[in-house]
Structure 1
Amino acid sequence: MEHPGTLILIMAAAVLAPLLAHGLGRWVRVPLVIFEIVLGIVMGPDVLAWAHSEELTDVLADLGLSLLIFLAGYEIQFDAIRGDTLRRAVWAWVISLVAGLAVALALTGLDFPRSVIIGTALTSTALGTVVPLLRDSGDLQGRFGTVTMAFGAVGEFGPIIAMSVLLSGRDPGLSTVILAVFAAITAGAVYWALRPRPPWFTRVIQTTLHTSGQFGVRFVMLLLVSMLALSEAFGLDVLLGAFAAGLLTRLVLQGAAPEVGEDVLRKIEGLGFGFLVPLFFIVTGIQFDLSSLLDGGRPLLLLPVFLVLFLLVRGGPVYALAPRDLSPLGRRALTLHSATCLPLVVAITTIGLDEELLGRSEAAAMVGAAMLSVLVFPLLGLHQRNKERKVSRVRAGAGADGTETW
């Protein structure tokens, strides 16, 4: 029987997390998601045992993950990232996938199903986690933000595609055909989204924006649910549908109501980051198998190994293929942001556990390493960007008075 106190505790933790992040922010910037997951672990069965995984919270957490991926898809601006930058991002991810599968095969003793789980997880980028940090630091706009979005988008989209093809339980050839059909339907939806909307459509969005009608928000939710249902009907991972829905929503809102599109998005973000997304991360903490990790032995040894592999397998190809117009400090920051992961690692390891392809200790080590990546890599990346800005200011000052001030 479900206990209503669990949901109350989760929402209390969701309120407490930003207060802790704000209070600690005077000394060190810690991503909000870390506080959410840690609070979930503390409340969970392995520490205080105040909260346990329940059907209601699990459903809400799944919605939170879908909305997180949806918002990440919305952030993608293909007009800005197409061309050479996008090609570099795709090739970097393909190399990561090959390297990840090779490393995983070595770790698992050529156990291919387990290797697919581990190898795919090593190639992911937590774009939904990185974007708020970039926005807060002012790095989202400009060339660095564009490049990070390109590499992050492929790092988010690529593993979802790989999961749909390799983890569906079907023949890879059949999965590819099904994926191609889904892509064709999505392309048709993109074509529809790019067509001019009738005047009444824009007018209704504008006139109901601040009323109980909320036509724009309801239409976006319809797009999201429809794409989730479509991916479910095709036997694909629902995260693929969520990501596609985010792309479609940007196209529709920009074409139909660009002047109020951001206002509609803010309402969706309020629902996501105010309720469902933190709930997903807190539930992830509640479900985290801390006891397996703290028992010592192989799981505890695997945690730093996976953390290094995230940086090498995902970050290495990114650094090698980063656009040449980025400075060395910018390339290091891009590498660190690209190697940051968590949501897809949680999703992929959950699939591995459900399919009994992955042990609980291995899953705990991977999720633990992904949590550390969210804590460590973005902070190091922001540090590299701050150093780059200081160097730029020094150079600008030297150029102004004609003297070197190094």
Structure 2
Amino acid sequence: METYPSELLLILFVAMLAPLLVELPNSFRMPVVALEVILGMLIGPHVFNLTSPDGMISTLGELGLTFLLFMVGLEIDFSKIRGKPLSLAVGGWCLSLSLAFVCMLFFQSIELIESPPLLAAVALSTTALGVLSPILRDRGELNSKFGTYMIAAAAVGEFGPLLVISMLLIPTHSTFIHTLFMVIFIIIAFATAYISLNTRSLRLIEMMTRTMQSSGQLPVRICILLQILFVALAAKFGLNIVMGAFTAGIVVGLATKGKEGELLRHKLDAIGYGFLIPIFFIVAGMNFEISALWSAPLAPVQVALLLGLMLFIRGVSLFLYRKELTPEEQMPFAFYSATGLPLILIISEIGVSSGLIPPDRAAILVSAGMISVLLFPILAVKLRGKFTLPW
């Protein structure tokens, strides 16, 4: 236990340093989450070996991941993304998943990429909503038309793969029992949302408002309890805990929408983006094995190929957005959509633990996901307004 305070001090120093470095005057401003990952790589065991992502540090990183997805669910405004943004997002992701499955069947047949086609296809068709949401927030684009379509595409690119891996890839029971558990989980989520939306007596609201300004902080504690409850339920039902955190965020977001919940959202925002979420990105960087990029003769080629596939697979959905996005917005949209890491990490862990993916192949897949987080958002910002597609 004696080593944890110094390691945690270093990680929190890095978390404080990242937004400071981003604010330095220069010609280009790197997304803060990308800088957090880079700094995590530098202090991690694979570069300078100043700290290691285990024990309490690992636990804080997992809490950061669940809180990140909780905040993402909280921030989704369904009144904005419903209709055309959501329908295009579903169509685009289904198109991406189908194309990814065909591509992975081909590359497996020529033994260039050896991974189960469905597992690899789901990984390559993901979009890191939790990574993109803070980037769009910082750039002031979250509530723009571009941001609305991007958030819808990213939400489906996160939730769709979650459903696939929960239903098909990690069932811990028979298909019928697993499906039953999924239905029960959804019913509980809807019931909780209904109770939250309709239990708004004047006395209850007054109590919530009063304790919000006291040491009790009852509304904040209820939200955190709800998050842990849904994470625990998801784990108990054999689903992924990320789905539990995401669902809890959606429930809290529905219950706190409007000006009445603004203060509560600010407090949750401070807990997440001020403490736990930066730790997740830093720990993700610490876990990145840079040596995986040259672990085998074909490893660099495979990583580059996977990066190209991610951009191609998620970028193909641009055909559906030709009338909705301006020519200057389409390439940034493709790069943002191809950014993926959290679910790639989860899918890789599932593949390794189940024996479906060898550890070295999983490292290559994670390497591609990590580089996408570092590179694609930067390219999206750089290309904004400077490059247009020929149609």
Could you tell me the TM-score, scaled by structure 2's length? Answer: 0.90
Classify the secondary structure of the residue corresponding to 1:326. Answer: coil
Asked whether the equivalents of residues 299 and 361 of structure 1 are also in contact (C-alpha less than 8 Å), the reply is no
Relative distance call for 1:315 and 1:172 in structure 2 (3 A) is: farther
**What is the CA–CA distance in structure 2 between the aligned matches of 1:330 and 1:291, rounded to whole Å?**
35
List alignment gaps of at least 5 residues for structure 2.
none
CA pair 385-41 structure 1, distance change in 2 beyond 3 A? closer
Q: What is the aligned partner in structure 1 of residue 77 from structure 2?
A: 77
Residue range with higher mean Cα deviation, 65-74 or 375-384: 375-384
Q: Is the 8 A contact 1:68 1:277 kept in 2?
A: yes
Within 5 Å, which residues of 2 pair with 1:216-231? 216-231=219-234
- Any conservation in 2 of the 1:299–1:364 contact (CA below 8 Å)? no
Q: Note if 1:20 corresponds to 2:21.
A: yes
Q: Deviations over 1:177-221 (max 9, x none)?
A: 432332222222222233141112221222122221111111111
Is 1:101–1:116's contact at 8 Å kept on the other side of the alignment?
Answer: yes
Q: Which residue identity lines up with residue 373 of structure 1 in the other structure?
A: S
Contact preservation (8 Å) 2:153, 2:337: yes
* 2:376 alignment partner in structure 1: 377
Tell me, in whole angstroms, the C-alpha distance in 2 between the residues paired with 1:386 and 1:205: 46
Preserved contact between residue 178 and residue 237 of structure 2 (Cα < 8 Å): no
Looking at structure 1, the residues matched to 328 and 27 of structure 2 have their Cα atoms a distance apart, in angstroms, of: 23
Give yes or no for the alignment of 1:206 onto 2:205: no
1:360 deviation in Å?
A: 2.9
Trace 1:235-246 onto structure 2 (pairs within 5 A).
235-246=238-249
Q: 1:108 & 1:262 partners in 2: Cα distance?
A: 50
Against the structure 1 CA distance between its residues 2 and 172, is the aligned structure 2 distance closer, same or farther, given a 3 Å change threshold? farther
2:196 matched residue in structure 1: 193
The 8 Å contact of residues 289 and 361 in structure 1, kept in 2 or not, is answered as no
**Residue 386 of structure 1, CA deviation:** 4.3
2:345 touches 2:366 (CA, 8 Å); kept in 1?
A: yes
- The one-letter code of the counterpart of 1:115 is P
Q: Corresponding residue for 2:330?
A: 331
Encode CA deviations 1:318-373: one digit per residue, 9 max, x unaligned.
x0222623222223332222112122222222222333332333233222222332
Structure 2 residue 42 is the aligned partner of structure 1 residue 42: yes
Structure 1 residues 76-98: Cα deviation after superposition (integer angstroms, max 9, x where no partner):
11111112321121121112222
Tell me how far 1:384 sits from its aligned partner. Answer: 4.7
User: What aligned pairs does 1:94-109 form with structure 2 within 5 A after superposition?
Assistant: 94-109=94-109
Query: Quick one: which amino acid aligns to residue 162 of structure 1?
Result: V
How many Å apart are 1:72 and its aligned residue?
Answer: 0.9
* CA deviation profile, 1:264-310 (whole Å, cap 9, x unmatched): 11211211112211111121122222223233522221111111111
Letter in 1 for 2:362: A
Q: Which residue of 2 aligns with 1:175?
A: 178
Taking the aligned partners of 2:290 and 2:269, their CA distance within structure 1 comes to: 31
Report the equivalent of 1:88: 88
* RMSD after superposition: 2.4
> Is the 2:81–2:148 contact (alpha carbons within 8 Å) kept by the matching residues of 1?
yes
* Letter matched to residue 320 of structure 2: L
User: 2: distance between equivalents of 1:172 and 1:101?
Assistant: 22
Q: C-alpha displacement at 1:237, in angstroms?
A: 0.3
Partner of 1:130: 132
Give the 3 Å change call, closer, same or farther, for CA 316–16 of structure 1 in structure 2.
same
Question: Structure 2 CA distance, aligned partners of 1:10 and 1:373?
Answer: 23
Please name the residue that 1:9 is paired with: 10
Specify the code of the residue in structure 2 equivalent to 1:366: L
Contact kept in structure 2, 1:224 and 1:246, CA below 8 Å = yes
Which segment drifts farther, 176-185 or 379-388?
A: 379-388
Residue 144 (structure 1) shift: 1.7
The corresponding residue for 1:355 is 354
Shift of 1:73: 0.9
Which residue does 1:391 correspond to in 2?
Answer: none
1:43–1:286: 8 Å Cα contact kept in structure 2?
yes
Structure 2: distance between partners of 1:361 and 1:2: 33
Give the 3 Å change call, closer, same or farther, for CA 177–202 of structure 1 in structure 2: same
- The SS at the match of 1:208 is helix
Distance 1:252 1:3 in 2: 41
Question: How far apart are residue 27 of structure 1 and its match?
Answer: 2.2
Amino acid at match of 2:329: G
Distance 1:112 1:301 in 2: 13
